Amino acid sequence: MWEQYKKTFAKTQAVIAIVTVGTYFYVGHLAARSAAFFVVMQLGAVVGAMWGTRLKNKVDRQAW
């Protein structure tokens, strides 16, 4: 999973940072809502990496 996560880490973190800052200014300077977006997006990034690894392993097993 970490290999998949490391490949996309920089781009994913950049998008998360932009969205977090955007929600802070767009929603009206509410740090709690921006923090919620940040946490959910971080969890999504980790879960997405886990899912991608699982799918890659399934495809690799089927290639036999």
pLDDT, position 64: 64
For the segment 7-21, what is each residue's pLDDT rounded down to a tens digit? 888 999 999 999 999
pLDDT, position 42: 95
Within 10 A of 34 (CB to CB), how many other CB atoms are there? Answer: 19
pLDDT 10s per residue in the chain (64 long)? 677 678 888 999 999 999 999 999 988 889 999 999 999 999 999 898 889 888 888 998 887 6
**What pTM does this model have?**
0.77
Which distant-in-sequence residues (6+ apart) come within 8 Å of 59 by Cβ? none
pLDDT, position 2: 73
**Angstrom distance (rounded) from CA 51 to CA 56:** 9
